[in-house]
Amino acid sequence: MISERSRTAYSRSADHLARRALDALQGAEGAPVAAPHMEAAASEPGGDPAVALGAVRVLGADVLAPYILTGRSPSEGETAAVGLALGALPPADPPPPAPPRGPEQPWTVAWVDWGLATSLSRLGPAGSPAPAAPLPQGPPRCDDTAPRRLPATPADALDSPGGSVQEGWVPWSVRMGQLASLALPGLDGPVHDAARSGVLGLARGATRATLRRDFPTAARITRWLAWLHADGAEPPLDAALLTEYIGLVGGGERTALDTAIARRLLGLEAV
């Protein structure tokens, strides 16, 4: 079991790492993100290198977003740091089943790991230290028609003889928000296909989170709408306006990073 103190340490470390990524994205060109974060954890009093490694895994591909979105190449030290974080606890193989057949957290972690490993393999030099990440199962399809609850049993989740799974847009959009680090150029897979087929559910989820003043969730889901815009779709709400509003009300370092990435995807900031 992870203690509350440990959760706080991981959350604080992830916030610091998100600030480094945001600074690198917004103007500190060429500034590394993961490497100095891990070096600081190893050298500063009270620092914990294991927590710093975990923070890299928590942010996933967002650690590499400044490189993905600007076209700059990470240094060898940077790719080595990210590779070390992936190698310290290799992605699950085989990946866990998608919910509701399997538990949600391991499945979400598997997808975040896939995004980080895939991004590193594309950015890093030949022989990158990133372990291969197996492709997890895709998410359930979104039912845009009604916010119904998840089925009580896997058998109840089967909507057709083909075995396709559906769930209401409320839990589906929240889960997609947890995978917002995959909403980056160069990544594509079953989660992205789910976003393409669930535009209305994402728009509803972003609106609901904003009305509830849950701005971290709103920022994550809105980022998917920004990715869809960059992918050529037309979301049924103004993702740029919503992004600007969330940027004004704030919500912490990771929300600021999600908003900055959304702005880049929407073309609101020059690369």
Residues 114, 224: one domain? no
pLDDT tens digits along 226-243:
999 999 998 999 999 999
Based on the domain organization, do 264 and 196 belong to the same domain? yes
**Per-residue pLDDT, 181:** 98
**Confidence band for 8, pLDDT divided at 50, 70 and 90:** confident
Is the dihedral angle over the CA atoms 159, 161, 165, 166 positive or is it negative? Answer: negative
Instruction: Tell me the C-alpha distance between 172 and 190, whole Å.
Output: 14
The boundaries of the domain holding residue 174 are 138-271
72 plus 151 within the same structural domain: no
d(CA 247, CA 259): 6
On whether both 159 and 128 belong to a single domain, the answer is no
Sign of CA dihedral 246, 202, 171, 258: negative
DSSP string, 230-247: HTT---SS-HHHHHHHHH
Q: How many domains does the chain have?
A: 2
Say if residue 128 is in the same domain as residue 186.
no
Instruction: Tell me the mean pLDDT in the region 125-141.
Output: 71
Q: Same structural domain for residues 27 and 154? A: no
Are residues 185 and 127 located together in one domain of the fold? no
Confidence at residue 91, expressed as pLDDT on a 0 to 100 scale: 78
User: Is residue 238 domain-shared with residue 173, that is, in the same domain?
Assistant: yes
User: Tokens in use for 185?
Assistant: 């150029």
Q: Is 104 helix (H, G, I), strand (E, B) or coil?
A: helix
Among 137, 163, 195, the domain boundary falls at 137
Q: Last residue of some domain: 106, 137, 168?
A: 137
Whole-number pLDDT of residue 162: 31
Residues 212-219: contacts with CB under 8 Å, at least 24 apart: 215/246, 215/249, 215/250, 215/251, 215/255, 216/251, 216/252, 216/254, 216/255, 216/258, 217/174, 217/177, 218/242, 218/246, 219/180, 219/243, 219/246, 219/251, 219/255, 219/258, 219/259, 219/262
| Whether residue 129 sits in one domain with residue 29 | yes
Identify whether residues 109 and 5 lie together within a single domain: yes
More confident residue, 212 or 165: 212
**pLDDT over 50 at 151, yes or no:** no
Contact yes or no for 184/61 (Cβ under 8 A): yes
Clarify whether residues 45 and 87 are in a common domain.
Answer: yes
* pLDDT band, very low/low/confident/very high, at 160 (cuts 50, 70, 90): very low
pLDDT tens-digit series, residues 17-58: 999 999 999 876 668 899 999 999 888 777 788 999 999 999
pLDDT for the residue numbered 52: 93
Q: Considering 137, 159, 177, which residue would you say is the last residue of a domain?
A: 137
Residue 149 has pLDDT above 50, yes or no: no
pLDDT tens digits along 190-209: 999 999 999 999 999 999 99
Together in a domain, 108 and 189: no
Measured distance CA(160)–CA(149) in Å, rounded: 18
